[in-house]
Chain A
C-alpha cells in the first residue's frame, strides 16, 4: 500500500487541482453572469478580485479570522461593482473601457495598500477532508475540499434555479434583454444593473479571498494570473447559465492544474507551456463557440460585447 501510484498521479492531481483551482473561477463567473444577465459587462473583475484578495488577507492578519476577511472582501467588491455600475449609467460611457480602467485601478490600489501585508501570515480558510477513508496521500490531498468550493457549488444551483423561478431573476433577465421592455414594466434598468454589478463585484472579491486565504494562500503582487478575466470569457462560453459556469470553472481548474501536476511526476521540460494551458483552452473555446452573423444563443440582448 505504498503511495507509488505512478502516472495515475496526474489525473488525480488534476482532479484535486480542478477542485482547488476552480473556486475563484466559480465565484467570479457566477458574479459576472449576474452582471451580464442584466445587460452590462464588467471587465474590471480582475481588479476587484485582486483587491478582494488583499482585503481578505489584511483583515485576516489583523483580526485572525479568515471569515471576517471573506466578509470584508465581499464588502469592498460590492463597492467596486457599485462604482462600475454608477459610472456606466452615464450616457456615452463605454462599459468595456471602464472595466479596463477599474482593472488597473483595483490592482494598483491593492498593491498600494497591500505592501505591509506581504510578510505576515494570515489564518487560512478551513477545508473538509472528504478523502479520510483512503490511505493514499494523493487521494486524501485531492479530496481535501474547501468550504468555499461547496458554497460556490450551492450558489450555482441557487442562481440557476433563481434566474428562472423567482421574481428577482425575471427582473434581471428582462432588464438584460431589453431596456425598453423593462421600462414599460415600470423597472429602472440603471438601478437593476447597478445592483447586479455590485453583487457581481462582491462575488468576484470572494473569489479573490479564496486565492489569498486558501490556495495559494498568501498575498503577493503576482497572486492573480488573470483569473478574473478568464472568468469573463468563461461566462460567454457557459452561455450565461450558472450551472454551465460551474462546469466550465472545473474544466479551467483542471487545465490550470496540468502544469503543476506534470511537474509533480517529474516532467520538467516545457512546463511554462503547460502553464499557458488555461489561456489556450479559453481561447480555443471562444473560437469554437463564437460564430459570425448569428447572435449567441441565450445572450442577453442589451450586452455590448455580443452586439
Chain B
C-alpha cells in the first residue's frame, strides 16, 4: 500500500532524501491516526465536563473504566468477550460504507442469524458437532446475507434509501424473531422468557483454551483481516472503492456496480448473521429477545470510529467492549444510571463525525505544503 511519495522521487542532491521520504510517509499516514485520536480525547473531555457538571468525578470515572475494562487479566477478558460481537457488527457497517452506503440495520441480521442458528441446531439434534456447528454458522450467514443483501439490491435496482430501509428491516426482523420465538420455534419449557429449545452442550462454542473468552473473538478477527485484504488487496475491493467514490465514473469504467453492491452488502450481512450465531452458540444457548441487545447499533459507532477500516475495527471494538465491560462497575460505584455508557458513546460518535471536517486542513500532514525547506522548489 505504501504509495510513492514525492520525496523519494526528489533529486539525491538533498541532504537526506531517504530520511525525508520516511518522514513524508509518516506525515501522510499519521493524519488518519492523529485526527480520530484527538477526536476521541475531545469526546472523553466533553464527557468529563458532563460528569463534572453533575457533580461526579471524571477522574474516578476513568480510573474505574481502566480497572473494569483493561486493568487486570480478568477485566481484559471481559472486554474481549464483549468486543467479539462488535467486530462482526461493525463490519456490517464498514463494508457497505466503502461503497458509499450507510447501512445501519445490522441488528436485524444479528437477531435473525441467531434465530436461524438456534433452529438449525435444534433440528439437527443428534448429528455430530463438527457438522452441526458449521451448519448453524452457514444458516446464520445465509439469512444475514439475504437480509442485508436485499437492502443493497433495493438500493441498486430501485434507488431505495439504504439507511432507512435497513433500519425498517431491523424492526421487521425483531418482530419476526419475536413471532418465531413465541410461536413456531418456542420451547414449551421456557415460561417466563420465551426461547427456542436450548442447544445441546456439544453444539455450544467453547472458550479459547486458557481463557474465559469464546472463539467468537477469533472468528471476528479473522473476518476483519479478511475484509481488509478484500478491500485493500483485491480487484473487487478496488472496484468497490472506485464505486464508493463516484458511481457514475465506475459505471463508465465498465464496472458492474450492481453485483458489487449486492455482493458487499450480502457479505456484510453474513458477518452480522454470524455474530448472531456466536451469540446463541457461545453466550445465550438459545435464541430469545436478548439477541436484540444493541450490538448492531454499537457496531455503527465502532465502524465510524474506525473510519470504516476493517483493521482499525479490532482496537476500537476492544475499546468499546472495555467501556461496556466497565459499565456495571461504574454504575455501582458512582451511582450513575446504566445509560451512562450510551451517553458516552453518543458523545464520542458526535466528536468523531465533527472531526471529519479537519481532514486536509493541517499543513503538517501534507508534505506538498511543507514550507521549512524540505520541499524542493520546482
Interface residues of A (CB under 8 A from B): 43, 87, 90-94, 96-98, 100-102, 104-109, 111-112, 115, 225-226, 229-230, 232-233, 236, 269-270, 272-273, 275-276, 279-280, 282-283, 286-287, 290-293, 305
Contact = CB atoms under 8 A, between A and B. Distances in A.
Nearest to A95: B353
- SS of A interface (majority): helix
Report whether over half of chain B's contact residues are helix, strand or loop; otherwise say mixed: helix
Nearest to B156: A292
A281 to B, nearest CB: 10
Contact of A226 (B163, B167, B337): B167
A104 B164 contact: no
Contact of A97 (B353, B357, B359): B353
B354 A87 contact: yes
Interface stretch (B9-17, B237-245, B270-278, B339-347): B339-347
Contacts of A91: 357
Given A87-B350, A226-B167, A272 B179 contact: yes
Contacts of B342: 104, 107-109, 111-112
B171 A226 contact: yes
Interface stretch (B74-82, B116-124, B222-230, B297-305): B297-305
Contacts of B191: none
Contacts of B175: 272-273, 275-276, 279
Given A93-B356, A270-B179, A292 B158 contact: yes
Given A90-B354, A94-B356, A286-B164, 20 more contacts: A100-B102, A100-B300, A104-B300, A104-B342, A104-B346, A109-B339, A109-B343, A112-B340, A112-B342, A112-B343, A236-B164, A272-B175, A276-B175, A279-B172, A279-B175, A283-B169, A287-B158, A291-B158, A292-B159, A305-B161
B350 A286 contact: no
Which of A100, A275, A290 neighbours the largest number of chain B CB atoms within 10 Å of its CB?
A: A100
Given A101-B346, A272-B175, A290-B159, A229 B354 contact: no
Interface of B: 102, 104, 154, 156-161, 163-165, 167-169, 171-172, 175-176, 178-179, 182-183, 297, 300-301, 304, 337-343, 345-347, 349-350, 353-354, 356-357, 359
Given A93-B357, A96-B102, A287 B160 contact: yes
A272 B175 CA distance: 6
| Cβ-closest 4 pairs across A and B | A105-B346, A108-B342, A111-B339, A276-B175
A105 B343 contact: yes
17 contacts: A43-B163, A93-B357, A97-B353, A98-B353, A100-B104, A102-B350, A105-B346, A108-B346, A109-B343, A111-B339, A272-B183, A276-B171, A276-B176, A283-B172, A287-B160, A290-B158, A290-B161
Contacts of A92: 356-357, 359
Given A87-B354, A292-B159, A111 B171 contact: no
A90 B351 CA distance: 13
A106 B297 CA distance: 14
B168 A233 contact: yes
A112 to B, nearest CB: 4
Nearest to B175: A276
Given A272-B182, A287-B160, A305-B161, A109 B346 contact: yes
A213 B346 CA distance: 26
B337 A225 contact: no
Contact of A291 (B159, B163, B301, B340): B159
Contacts of B357: 90-93
A109 B336 CA distance: 12
B109 to A, nearest CB: 15
A101 B354 CA distance: 11
A105 B350 contact: yes
A290 to B, nearest CB: 5
Given A92-B356, A283-B168, A101 B350 contact: yes
Given A229-B164, A275-B175, A276-B172, A108 B343 contact: yes
Contacts of A94: 102, 353, 356
A295 to B, nearest CB: 9
B161 A236 contact: yes
Give the residue among A43, A97, A115, A225 with the most B Cβ atoms within 10 A: A97
